[in-house]
Structure 1
């Protein structure tokens, strides 16, 4: 039989595929198949309603000649001229017929098979310049399809629930339109894109929408069912259909026939209102990829992020822009976001081990190799202006974001400050400062940031301090200290008009001013090694 069918339509479908389809259809109840065709259900929807999962039946083209060859020998076609593939399936609204409206101009597009739709998708991916090693297929369908499935199933239940083949089935066992489309496309996409379907960063999203909402259609057929009590056959949780039948004066069989006629009318009205294909929007995109590392800032005129006030740039550049402008082009992404574990002021250098940071690249067309990332690090470190540097740059997972945020709250930071005091410090002063361990201080929001920060009082810890004398100077020296994250160092040194207690100056009983400040270490576990 399969050989004869293949000869009948060699240009349309593979003979083995038709033979397999023939075997599947022959096992289905022919009168139910005829009924589904008569109400405008397509072949692939019939297969999924009966739980057929083999992908070949969904991928293959289903031309009228093919269908005629398959069904003529497996159903009673002589008396059923309506047995043909509908132009637009009333159940899937064209989704499994690979027919859809283009969202821009509502032009109807018809693909012969899954191969045609998969080819269009793969061409779109290449046109947008994506280089991929895997993909995840996402499908969204309108609620009206689920409502149509329910009412068709209720119709089938009314007609065939007494038959043995139907008693073994339930609606949840049917294959959804969404899953059937994935079955249709996945293997073909794998072949055309030369990669496997997997849970990765690259996504293919097909969003189907329908102009008529499910609620609108539901309201239009509610009159067929009458009141909710009549529709559900229940009242206060009790089945009242038997009482309704008795009151009607009809026998059980007569009432059942009337119920079937009523449901059939509602089905017809319902499906008549859903006779256009869905609109389809294609979206190919890559989820965020992250570059992690530690940055160093060598200039006292570079902010961490782009800083503009009244259309005037503050500083000559920013760490964010330097990192992003070098990372984004290599990934060919849409845009980037810069994240760091805390920040330093524009006039503060970031030295030592550097500050942990992430660059989040959105919709990258290309994911660079480890070797390319090393070359990128070298490029940044060799920039002519030498404003910033980077250590341990690498591609990281999204979990690094949580790791950085968790560590940020617990981290300690080390600083070196150039300090001036109004009196000459003695050796006893140096020893007094060095003896301080884990000192608790209270800091009110500094005056210099009150315009953008809430007026709060914060408790912070100074873990240790050490004074280093500068040769040839009696009132200038280097203060090395380690503090809890979030400590305002400048205010701790000069006291901020008494808003920080105790301060470095109040401990020594002298006026103290901070002239320069460097961050020398951020104690976190993030990105310490390549």
Structure 2
């Protein structure tokens, strides 16, 4: 069922005539239910043209989409990178990563092709092939997208245009009345990703698939904001540009409508090309393994003993345990924690010292109790200097409990003493009566 009514016709005609795509028209007309967005772009284009047939000027002056190659994306599926397997570059020599370049459509002046090209089934399949080739083990996932900040500027311009036209009819349109681009994108793509990968999309999943978009052609759209509201754009660590999405949104909330209109066209101009995909990245949240270790060597440090770049001892407790865990979990790195410390020449006996290891970005995360038991045995057989017990997968919170227990735990020390005379009962009583000051 087509979601627009006669009441929406004027706004739909205005937006479509200035180069806005059908899905963005739905957003500005307040269509807040999922079904209409999920139809293919070709279907939506036909439907909107039929809806506006009495008033539509079919000769749209926008240039056609720039044709592109998908060879790099496809090559990456057949030959995944060994060094950067989690991060896939999709741009080469300015090529535009658009999966449906054969569609005879114009690039939307608001979403820059996001709701045209990048929510169709062909693109979803390409992303899913990358995910499956990444080697991660997962039963659910979080899907996230990062859009170029200039999309917020273009949406603001389109909102001011529609708001002005609706005002002529004594109607109002608040910014919150517009369906957010990211929401609409999720409505369309979540079911497609879930169906293609065969797993649910769960906001609490530790496995995340992220797609980062860019649009070099319009990167200057935000620059006028920096001149008018410089306080909104402060340099930040790990940010290549001051024009972040949050900074742009902050500026758009502050700028006066008349100042915006003087600096930026309403409606926004139509671009020549769709967005590019900067990267498709897979990452898994850390998992934690804990247990206890005994140390039997008097020549083994707890952590690698390196001074001025020179290794003092051949190995350490940390290395003897972590090397096995890194291999089995296929993790990128680790962080080791111990409940207290002991000197190099001190053994750790009894029930052993508690330890925990955080495995960063592991590719394998699901283990049976038998597999964990076998991993423990493998560690113990690999060296006579240490033994591990009670090895288990734990939560992040359990690591905090281990640290809290450092202040409360009880240690027992034993020592062998030689004397020149036989120890009498009165000597023991004398020692027991000594008070610690």
- Please state which band the TM-score falls in when normalised by the shorter chain: 0.7 to 0.9
Query: Equivalent residue for 2:16?
Result: 37
Deviation of the 1:141 alpha carbon: 2.2
Deviation of the 1:349 alpha carbon: 1.1
Query: Equivalent residue for 2:183?
Result: 179
C-alpha distance in structure 2 between counterparts of 1:422 and 1:177, whole Å: 87
Matched, 1:134 2:140: yes
Matched, 1:391 2:389: yes
Moved more, 173-182 or 304-313: 304-313
Moved more, 410-419 or 38-47: 410-419
Q: Is the 8 A contact 1:37 1:85 kept in 2?
A: no
Query: Equivalent residue for 1:378?
Result: 377
C-alpha distance in structure 2 between counterparts of 1:146 and 1:423, whole Å: 88
Q: Is the 8 A contact 1:48 1:176 kept in 2?
A: yes
Q: Aligned match of 1:205 in 204, 210, 217?
A: 210
C-alpha distance in structure 2 between counterparts of 1:280 and 1:43, whole Å: 25
2:413 aligns to what SS in structure 1?
Answer: strand
Pair 341,263 (structure 1): closer, same or farther in 2 beyond 3 Å: same
Pair 46,309 (structure 1): closer, same or farther in 2 beyond 3 Å: same
1:304 aligns to what SS in structure 2?
Answer: coil
Pair 170,301 (structure 1): closer, same or farther in 2 beyond 3 Å: same
Deviation of the 1:284 alpha carbon: 0.5
Pair 173,407 (structure 1): closer, same or farther in 2 beyond 3 Å: farther
Deviations 1:311-342 (A, max 9, x none): 54333421111111111121112122211112
Q: Is the 8 A contact 1:332 1:364 kept in 2?
A: yes
Deviations 1:177-211 (A, max 9, x none): 22222222211111122111111210112223444
1:226-265 matched pairs, under 5 angstroms: 232=256, 263=261
Measured on the aligned residues, the alpha-carbon RMSD in Å equals 3.4
1:44-59 matched pairs, under 5 angstroms: 44-59=23-38
Deviations 1:427-482 (A, max 9, x none): 43433444568x46xxxxxxxxxxxxxxxxxxxxxxxxxxxxxxxxxxxxxxxxxx
C-alpha distance in structure 2 between counterparts of 1:85 and 1:186, whole Å: 31
More strand by share: 1
C-alpha distance in structure 2 between counterparts of 1:106 and 1:298, whole Å: 60
Pair 38,380 (structure 1): closer, same or farther in 2 beyond 3 Å: same
1:117 aligns to what SS in structure 2?
Answer: helix
Q: TM-score, with normalisation over the residues of structure 2?
A: 0.74
Deviation of the 1:153 alpha carbon: 0.7
Query: Equivalent residue for 1:14?
Result: none
Instruction: Report the structure number with the largest CA radius of gyration.
Output: 1
C-alpha distance in structure 2 between counterparts of 1:192 and 1:48, whole Å: 26
Query: Equivalent residue for 2:320?
Result: 322
1:11-22 matched pairs, under 5 angstroms: 20=1
Pair 134,276 (structure 1): closer, same or farther in 2 beyond 3 Å: closer
Query: Equivalent residue for 2:291?
Result: 293
Pair 310,334 (structure 1): closer, same or farther in 2 beyond 3 Å: same
Matched, 1:107 2:95: yes
1:40 aligns to what SS in structure 2?
Answer: coil
Moved more, 404-413 or 331-340: 404-413
Q: Is the 8 A contact 1:221 1:269 kept in 2?
A: no
Query: Equivalent residue for 1:216?
Result: 223
Pair 39,51 (structure 1): closer, same or farther in 2 beyond 3 Å: same
Pair 157,375 (structure 1): closer, same or farther in 2 beyond 3 Å: same
C-alpha distance in structure 1 between counterparts of 2:430 and 2:6, whole Å: 93
Query: Equivalent residue for 1:145?
Result: 151
Structure showing greater relative contact order (alpha-carbon pairs closer than 8 Å, 6 or more residues apart): 2
Matched, 1:122 2:121: no
C-alpha distance in structure 1 between counterparts of 2:165 and 2:399, whole Å: 57
Query: Equivalent residue for 2:165?
Result: 159
C-alpha distance in structure 1 between counterparts of 2:51 and 2:20, whole Å: 18
1:415 aligns to what SS in structure 2?
Answer: coil
